[in-house]
């Protein structure tokens, strides 16, 4: 069996042990400074509303762009409308009587 060890030191994200300490110290200081920042109720509300408004505007923009890429299909004529009846008569070469035409346009006997 081969007992050679693999050199994995290149996979270490922090080759210098002190670099890890510096990065974590900087991150911790940033978090503590952010927590120490005291905001009034209005400032806090403004920050949240501003973020929500930006997200809503971005979502609306995405919806409008996608709406143009996927247009809606035209609705089929309803079964009970005069357009559908006229199209059916034209497709079947039906010759309507006068009573049928008057009934269709609403002036029936």
Above 70 in pLDDT, residue 53? Answer: yes
Residues in the chain: 109
Percent of the chain with pLDDT over 90: 18
Q: What is the largest CA-CA distance in the chain?
A: 104
Domain ranges of the chain: 14-69, 73-109
Give the three-state DSSP class for 94: coil
Give residue 101's pLDDT.
85
Percent of the chain with pLDDT over 70: 88
pLDDT digits (tens, 9 = 90+) for 15-50: 787 888 898 999 999 988 887 777 788 888 888 899
- Residue 78 binned pLDDT confidence (cut-offs 50, 70, 90): low
Give the three-state DSSP class for 12: coil
Q: Which structure tokens are listed for 42?
A: 């209005």
Give the three-state DSSP class for 13: coil
Q: Cβ of 82: how many Cβ atoms within 10 Å?
A: 14
Q: Which structure tokens are listed for 18?
A: 């002190």
pTM metric for this prediction: 0.35
């Amino acid at each position: 069996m081969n007992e050679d060890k693999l050199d994995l030191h290149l996979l270490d994200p922090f080759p210098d042990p002190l670099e890890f300490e510096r990065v974590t110290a900087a991150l911790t200081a940033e978090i503590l400074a952010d927590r120490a920042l005291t905001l009034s109720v209005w400032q806090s509300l403004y920050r949240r509303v501003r973020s929500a408004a930006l997200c809503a505007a971005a979502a609306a923009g995405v919806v409008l762009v996608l709406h143009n890429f996927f247009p809606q299909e035209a609705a089929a004529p309803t079964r009970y409308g005069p357009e559908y009846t006229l199209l059916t008569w034209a497709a079947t070469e039906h010759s309507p009587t006068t009573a049928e035409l008057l009934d269709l346009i609403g002036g029936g006997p």
